[in-house]
Amino acid sequence: MFDHPKLLEVLDDTRFSPEIECYANISQSDLPSGWVIVGDESLLTGGKEIRPENHHVITGLSGLLEVMRVCRTINDHQGEVDVRCGAHVHIDMSGLPDKAVINVLRRYIAYERSIDLVMPPSRRNHHHAQGLIQRLARQNGADYGDGEFKQTTTFLDRINKCKSRSDLSRMFNGDLGCAKFWKVSVNRLNDLGTIEFRQHAGTTDPEKLAHWIVFLAMLRWTTVHFPSTKTPGKSNMDHKARMRKLLKLVMGDWSPETSKFFLERLRFFSRH
């Protein structure tokens, strides 16, 4: 798994930092050097956030395997999650042109409703990982599915007007009133240099979290190297088909295990 030469190049080019929200009977000494346990007020008593210290970014296959080892350690200490928990992943954008950063954000939002379909219903508009298109619909007095194509293109048009990281921060803090509690957040873009992907449900499953990190790494890499400013067309609003298209676009044949994992999730959540 995760051994395709091109995927390894992508992982070497991607710096990431996960935040694993969970409940576990675990102490600092149980974790590898460089990882910390912090409290999380969004969880019940005893809830923890386990992450690299100071959001230090890790990279490469070695970093991915380290995350998987931490998950196994949590599970060895009675690790559990509930619907309050999330598995947030910071993806480092430092060193990239502002336009590339904006394009990564655009692509995730353009496919937001499709990515919803590989997530449990609780993470499709979680209060700590809200949907951006849902928010825009509410601002306009519409339902989520009402004029959805218009809502999506309107939001992407707003992003297109941004020319810099600062413009993005102003848009989120101004138009949306908050930069943090969205499926994809620019709250730490100016100080840490990261976009935080907050949508994934809480998990201590090492392979599940690894597949999500691989997906985000490939999303970043393909968007930076093969940018597209085309808004998904109205005729493509079959979200299942669009998720399959996104997996093909992002993953190619570089990580068939990750593509298979998300296709299976697409089928599972389509039935439940």
Walk me through the domains of the chain, giving residue ranges and CATH numbers: 5-271 (3.30.590)
pLDDT, tens digit, 9 for 90 and up, residues 155-208: 788 888 899 999 988 888 776 667 688 999 999 998 999 999 999 999 999 999
Tokens representing residue 34 in the block? 């460089």
Q: Region 117-127: what's the mean pLDDT?
A: 93
Model pLDDT, residue 221: 97
Give the predicted TM-score (pTM) of the model: 0.92
* Gap between the terminal Cα atoms of the chain: 28
Tokens representing residue 188 in the block? 């730490």
Place of tokens 């590898």: 32
Closest Cα to residue 104, out of 268, 229, 233, 244?
229
- Other Cβ atoms less than 10 A from the Cβ of 65: the count is 14
Q: Tell me the C-alpha distance between 135 and 151, whole Å.
A: 9
Q: Region 213-231: what's the mean pLDDT?
A: 87
| Of 149-153, 187-191, 244-248, the least confident | 149-153
Q: Tell me the C-alpha distance between 188 and 168, whole Å.
A: 11
- Judged against a pLDDT cut of 50, whether residue 235 lies above it is answered with no
pLDDT, tens digit, 9 for 90 and up, residues 65-90: 999 999 999 999 999 999 999 999 99
Q: Region 88-100: what's the mean pLDDT?
A: 96
| Of 177-186, 217-226, 248-257, the least confident | 177-186
Cβ-count burial 20-35 (b if 16+ within 10 Å, e if not): bbbbbebeeebbeeeb
Tokens representing residue 193 in the block? 């240099």
The residues pairing with 89 across neighbouring beta strands, listed in sequence order, are: 18, 197
Query: How much of the chain is in helix, strand and coil states, percent to nearest 5?
Result: 50, 15, 35
